[in-house]
């Protein structure tokens, strides 16, 4: 029995030992650093703030997992893309654990491509097409020299990649230029040549944005017959290699030296108000050159008696405008008006010996400014009747040069006059010989009129009456 009990005891002891050994081994192995969370690899963007990530690591024992101290080694510069290594050193009760972490700083913004939109109208014959393009990356900065471009199916593609492989693509529609050439006339678009003189055409130049100088390819048509007065037209035409055609026209007026006193039935009366002035002598020279007679409605400037006498002696009509040209005085009442009128009439007679009875109201018979001074008497209606009763004849106008309005351009004065010369007339033209730019247009007006078959005449008491509607 004792022997049997001894065997059982040995068995129990053996079993206990066999059970106890794994428990001891397990308990001994449970003690140490426990990694519950740790990122071995981290990605972060360029210029993003980096924060050290120590993870979740503790020191384990039979009873609990203890908090450990941690320090780091290594730094991360997010202003530079690349890979960085940081070491985390964990310590507890003399025990040490080192963990390695890899941080990749990357950049994911594509570059920005800028293209000048004006570059995409290109010539049909252009081979080496260059575009004004720039590329900029927030990390690599200027990438302009790395931009690749190619043309496909009427579009231009621009591509560029930064050092991180971020790609930008810009697409633009390509427009083939289809512009007409430009023709520039040598000289004026309007030329004058005297009857029976030789006309020498000054020609023209042509330029095309794509093909350059095309002057040698200009085709000219039209004939100027200087044996006949009138209007002629020279047409210049040119085409580029793809058929874009441009034309330009020059008008040539052949005019006689004079047709004064030639009864054509087409009459122009040139009239000039407010003079004489410093410019009147030059005007008289122009009129004398063409043997043209005009009408001068005078005021009373000081120091121009000799100019008034010349006007009279050279056959021009001396009309009366005003002694003062002061609306507030002459339109106060009829007596004030006639006092002013007789003063300038007497002045003209004193200089020339001629008593003029041809007049033009300051502002014309249709003026409304007189309403401001006449006390509501409708003075213009009264004056229009009384001047004729006293033997005067007044003339308004039916063509205004606008030289006393908003026009200060010689070419516009010319246009303002000739635009309305489209019939037989009679035409009474209003200009002012106090305006230098207006006098500059007179010679072309004369030559234009002569070429169109008009006769220039001075106003007289028998001339057709041109009156405005009286509104006061």
Residue 448 is inside which H or E element, if any? Answer: helix 442-451
Where b means 16+ CB within 10 Å and e means fewer, 313-336 reads: eeebbbbbbbbbbebeebbbebeb
Check if 77 is active-site.
no
85, 75 Cβ separation under 8 angstroms: no
57, 36 in Cβ contact below 8 A?
yes
117 included as an active-site residue: no
From the list 274, 316, 432, 433, the catalytic residue is: 432
Catalytic residue among 140, 240, 273, 274: 273
Q: Which helix (H) or strand (E) holds 444?
A: helix 442-451
Q: Helix 334-352 crosses helix 305-313 at what angle (to 10 degrees)?
A: 70
Angstrom CA distances, 319 to 209, 299, 356, stand at: 57, 9, 6
Q: Are the C-beta atoms of residues 330 and 324 closer than 8 Å to each other?
A: yes
**Cα 11 to Cα 46: distance, rounded to the nearest angstrom:** 70
189 CB-contact burial (10 Å; exposed 0-12 / middle 13-18 / buried 19+): exposed
Question: How far is Cα of residue 398 from the mean position of the Cα atoms in its chain?
Answer: 37
3-state helix, strand, coil in the chain (%, to 5): 25, 30, 45
C-beta of residue 343 within 8 angstroms of C-beta of residue 354? no
d(CA 291, CA 456): 9
Structure tokens at 167: 């790609």
Distance CA 265, CA 242 (A): 51
Which helix H or strand E contains 160, and what residues bound it?
Answer: strand 155-161
b/e code 373-393 from CB counts within 10 Å (16+ = b): bbeebebbebbbeebeeeebb
Q: Which residues are catalytic?
A: 273, 432
């Amino acid at each position: 029995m004792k022997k049997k009990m001894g065997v059982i005891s040995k068995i129990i002891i053996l079993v206990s030992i066999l059970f106890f050994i794994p428990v001891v081994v397990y308990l001994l192995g449970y003690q140490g650093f426990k990694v519950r969370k740790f990122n071995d690899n981290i990605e972060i963007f360029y210029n993003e703030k980096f924060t050290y990530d120590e993870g979740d690591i503790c020191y384990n024992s039979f009873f609990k997992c203890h908090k450990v101290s941690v320090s780091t080694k290594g730094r991360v510069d997010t202003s530079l893309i690349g890979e960085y290594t940081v070491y985390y050193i964990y310590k507890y009760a003399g025990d040490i654990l080192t963990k390695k972490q890899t941080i990749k700083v990357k950049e994911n913004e594509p570059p920005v491509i800028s293209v000048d939109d004006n570059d995409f109208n290109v010539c049909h014959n252009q081979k080496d097409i260059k575009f004004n393009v720039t590329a900029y990356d927030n990390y690599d900065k200027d990438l302009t020299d790395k931009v690749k471009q190619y043309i496909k199916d009427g579009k231009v593609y621009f591509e560029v990649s930064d050092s991180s492989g971020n790609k930008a693509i810009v697409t633009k529609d390509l427009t083939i230029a289809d512009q007409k050439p430009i023709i520039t006339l040598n000289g004026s678009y309007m030329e004058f040549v005297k009857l029976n003189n030789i006309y020498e055409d000054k020609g023209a130049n042509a330029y095309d944005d794509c093909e350059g100088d095309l002057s040698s390819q200009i085709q000219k048509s039209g004939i100027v017959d200087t044996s006949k007065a009138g209007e002629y037209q020279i047409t210049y035409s040119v085409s580029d290699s793809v058929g874009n055609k441009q034309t330009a026209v020059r008008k040539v007026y052949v005019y006689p030296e004079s047709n004064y006193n030639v009864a054509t039935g087409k009459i122009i009366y040139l009239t000039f108000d407010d003079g004489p002035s410093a410019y009147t002598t030059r005007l008289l020279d122009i009129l004398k050159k063409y043997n043209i007679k005009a009408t001068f409605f005078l005021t009373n400037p000081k120091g121009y008696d000799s100019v008034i006498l010349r006007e009279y002696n050279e056959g021009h009509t001396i009309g009366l405008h005003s002694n003062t040209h002061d609306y507030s005085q002459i339109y106060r009442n009829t007596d004030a008006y006639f006092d002013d009128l007789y003063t300038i009439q007497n002045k003209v007679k004193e200089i020339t010996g001629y008593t003029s009875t041809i007049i033009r109201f300051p502002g014309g018979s249709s003026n409304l400014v007189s309403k401001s001074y006449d006390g509501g008497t409708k003075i213009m209606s009264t004056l229009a009747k009384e001047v004729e009763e006293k033997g005067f004849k007044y003339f308004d106008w039916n063509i205004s040069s606008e030289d006393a309005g908003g026009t200060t351009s010689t070419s516009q004065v010319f246009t303002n006059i000739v635009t309305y010369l489209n019939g037989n007339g009679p035409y009474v033209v209003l200009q002012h010989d106090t305006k230098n730019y207006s006098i500059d247009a007179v010679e072309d007006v004369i030559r234009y009129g002569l070429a169109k078959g008009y006769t220039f005449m001075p106003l007289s008491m028998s001339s057709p009456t041109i009156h405005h509607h009286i509104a006061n």
